[in-house]
Amino acid sequence: MKRCFSILICFGLSFVSYSQSYWQQEAHYQMDIDFNTKNHQFDGLQELTFINHSPDTLNKVFYHLYFNAFQPGSMMDVRSRTIVDPDRRVGDRISKLSQSEMGIQQVLSLKQNKLELDFNIEGTILNVNLNEPIFPGDTVQFDMEFKTQVPLQIRRSGRMNKEGIDYSMSQWYPKLCEYDKDGWHANPYVGREFYGIWGSFDVRIHMDANYTIAATGILQNPDEIGHGYADIDLQNPPEKLTWKFKAENVHDFVWAADPDYTHEIVINENGPNFHLFYQKGEKTKHWEDLGEYMIKTFKYADEHFGKYPYPHYSIIQGGDGGMEYPMATLITGHRSLKSLVGVSVHEAMHSWYQGLLASNEALFAWMDEGFTCYASNRIEKELFPEDFSDPHAGSFKGYKRIATSDYEEPLCTHADHFDTNWAYGTASYSKGVVILDQLSHIVGQKVIDKSLKRYFDEWAYKHPNASDFKRIVEKESGIELDWYFEYFVNTTKTIDYSIYEIIGDEKGTQILLKKGEMPMPVEFNIVLQNGTVSKYYIPTVLMRGEKEVELNTKILSDWAWTNPYYSIRLDQAPSEIKKIQLHTTGHIADIEPLNDRVKMPDNWDWNKYKLRLNLLEKKKKGTIKKFVKIKK
């Protein structure tokens, strides 16, 4: 606080303008939904209050109409039928939907401050030309009448999923597109990522009384509903019940409905409570044990990643795998205990990295999926320590596999526009974990832990981008990190440090290390014949600093990234050295491990020969000789 105050005095105006340079839009939805379970259609009324906090005057607005993606010939359908490795859940299924099976979202009327508006629908986007511009700071009200047919469940949402859940209602309502400092984000829906405006939802759903509804937010009328929300038996229930949900400080609203849901509440003293909705049976028997794992999960996450702020979290059987929403997740439920816990932990951790740190996922999918996987990997190691020695090992492996293929695309690729699902998935999930865990190699684990909490404290309820996260870690570490994100996010350049050459004489040993495409700090050990281990650390010059290293580690001079080689002179003669090992922290995605270690050869005439890395030849010939003799 003290520091902020002095800056304020010295640079009063610029500080104020800096702190005000971040803005975000605000949207409050009131919706009334009358649901017909016979034809799977509903009539909707939507009153949307929108506040333009941007410095810009808006002459048009856009809405997402996600359900229109589930029509033969839609962009999502064509994308799925033309991409080389389609999601098996989608495949060509959309192309085969009949008129009564497809998704349809029609806008019947739209008004701006009570005056009718012109609009047109292009697939999953509603384009609206405004009567009156929305000036900076203006509040406007949009009233919409819409009619929707719920598609057969294809991807994420829809009716009758493969486990027999009637309605998985995600991406189900006309949703205003986000407008931020980069402008509108009216991306046609092709099945990938989401981005929404912060605000609130007040949703009424009229539905057949035998259905149990699970949803984002808090049920306002449990005593009129029962269904596990209140311990009552309705006398002479009406044909339909009206469910009233409210959710504050969220950017989306999901719900699901099934007549066969069991609704159980797991009380968690330290909050939140867990609402479980599932069809009870042999295939879902492990749901009874889920609560205790979720209590441990949220305890760990609260301590390490920031405090979950909502009063409850719902785990809802539905959808087609696992998908995150504010205060809730839809997961398939027929699972082994570890699979059920694994998917629940992953989706719950999205509450932090999608629910609260709501980055534009299309541009920063790795800040959502990657950070979520990183957090859930750590929690799964806590829950099942016997299964994970290194919780991130699988992510490193997945990343290295694509990094050594011809298919990798940079992390900064727009999520919709990766050429393959493999490249998208590996970038956002695996490389997303690697980018975060590898930071611990650069700045140290303690700094990462502090950074993650500070990131949450400063950026929850906003839309952080990559630079916002980078700045937090820079501030916590005092290390400059531009280069790291520039290389690892914007390019597919890889890390490959190697022990290139060893030259010995009576006076000592000279080791030449070689750099790959991407600069990184390097740590290595020298193990002597007598068992002594010496640790060394070479910062890269781009860091303009170094991390806190273990006491007995020798910090060498910076490696200038323009130098392909770095020479180290040791006092020990080569005969005294047993082996040399690079990357002893382990948290570095060096794509070629074979050149990272050398065991010194016996009976070697160091006066005549030096040792030289021979991997390229090795690969061509398929022999295993890593290092070869070269005449001095």
| Chain residues that interact with Zn ion, rule: CB under 5 A | 369
d(Cα 402, Cα 589) in Å, to the nearest integer?
12
CA distance 119 to 37: 29
Least distance from C-beta 93 to Zn ion, angstroms?
22
Closest by CA to 524, choosing from 444, 595, 582, is 582
Nearest residue to Zn ion, by Cβ distance, number only: 369
Name the 3-class secondary structure at 304: helix
DSSP one-letter code for 369: I
CB of 346 to Zn ion, least distance (A): 6
- Chain-centre distance for alpha carbon 409: 17
Residue whose CB is less far from Zn ion, 252 or 369: 369
Q: How far is the CB of 356 from Zn ion (least distance, A)?
A: 15
For the CB of residue 428, give the shortest distance to Zn ion in the complex, in Å: 9
Residue 369 or 476 having the CB closest to Zn ion: 369
Pairing of strands 553-555, 498-504: unpaired
Least spacing, CB of residue 1 vs Zn ion, in Å: 36
Helix axes 371-383, 337-350, angle to 10 degrees: 140
Nearer to Zn ion, 355 or 504 (CB): 355
Q: Which is nearer to Zn ion, 202 or 369 (CB)?
A: 369
Nearest distance from C-beta of residue 190 to Zn ion, angstroms: 18
For Zn ion, the closer of residues 105 and 428 by Cβ is 428
DSSP, res 37: T
Neighbours of 617 (CB within 10 A): 12
What would the DSSP string read from start to end of 416-449? GG-SSHHHHHIIIIIIHHHHHHHHHHHH-HHHHH
The nearer residue to Zn ion, 35 or 353, going by C-beta atoms, is 353
| Nearest distance from C-beta of residue 6 to Zn ion, angstroms | 42
Residue 73 Ramachandran class (φ > 0 left, ψ -120 to 50 alpha, else beta): left
Sign of CA dihedral 627, 629, 631, 632: positive
Helix (H) / strand (E) containing 522: strand 522-528
Q: Which is nearer to Zn ion, 58 or 357 (CB)?
A: 357
Can you state the angle between helices 466-477 and 432-443, rounded to 10 degrees?
Answer: 20
| CB 373, min distance to Zn ion, A | 7
Secondary structure (DSSP) of 495-562:
B--EEEEEEE-SS-EEEEEE--SS---EEEEEEETTS-EEEEEE-BGGGSS-----TTEEEPPPB-TT
Closest distance to Zn ion from the beta carbon of 214 (Å)? 19
- For Zn ion, the closer CB: 101 or 369: 369
According to DSSP, the β-strands at 183-184 and 553-555 are: unpaired
- Compare residues 194 and 459 and give the one whose CB is closer to Zn ion: 194
Amino acid at residue number 352: W
